[in-house]
Amino acid sequence: MNVVFAVLFVSGVVLVAVSSPDALLGVLLDGTSGAVALAIRLAGVYALWLGVLQILQDSGADRLLARVYRPLLSRLFRGESERTQSLIGLNLTANLLGLGAAATPMGIAAVESMSHGEAAATDNMILFFILNVTAVQLLPTTVMALLASHGAANAASIVLPGLLSSLATAVFGLLTVNVVRIVGAKMPQRMRQKRCKR
């Protein structure tokens, strides 16, 4: 991935240097100052919500969230411990609030808990990964903060489209994982039957 970013950066610098050499330094300075300003704006948003998530953990509300999610999580992630379901619940809560980066620590901890010391990815880990990639966002906080910081008249207008699109991708992702799981479970049986016939 570092190679990809390096190639993109170098090719961009070369193109700007060839097309408009006088603007090269200005473009680099504007880009870096814009990146720093964006990082500072997002730092406040993430500090707030990471603090909220830490309070949820410290107060034991994460276990309450796990109970709320349990009917869904026990069906989706069969055989996982209560601690794992609690971490998954916190991760899903952070994603519902549109805090992808804030959801990452809980996501990593949940995957470590699901791995049971094994190196290979389990079905539950793959399903969890798909749910994170297609994260349902009830309140896309990060996007709203970006829109508001850039002077959008109604930053909350993204809420309904974001919810519907993320919900659609999550449902599609769940269906795809289950289809692949079923096909994968049946595939070895068919191959064994063909070998037996030979």
pLDDT tens by residue, 75-113: 888 888 888 888 888 888 878 777 766 778 888 888 998
Domain count, the chain: 1
**Residues 6 or more apart whose Cβ sits within 8 Å of residue 98:** 137, 138, 139, 140, 141, 142, 143, 144, 162
170: containing domain: 25-197
Q: Could you tell me the two tokens for 76?
A: 């989706």
Determine, yes or no, domain membership for 121: yes
- Quick one: pLDDT at residue 97? 73
Determine, yes or no, domain membership for 157: yes
**pTM flag (> 0.75):** no
Determine, yes or no, domain membership for 123: yes
Task: Please list the ranges in the chain whose pLDDT falls under 50.
Answer: 192, 195-197
Angle (CA) 84-77-86 rounded to 5° is: 25
Determine, yes or no, domain membership for 6: no
| Contact assessment for residue 24 and residue 30, using Cβ atoms and an 8 Å cutoff | no
Determine, yes or no, domain membership for 143: yes
Determine, yes or no, domain membership for 69: yes
- Quick one: pLDDT at residue 195? 45
- Quick one: pLDDT at residue 196? 44
- Quick one: pLDDT at residue 191? 55
Determine, yes or no, domain membership for 126: yes
pLDDT, tens digit (0-9, with 9 covering 90-100), for 179-190: 888 887 776 655
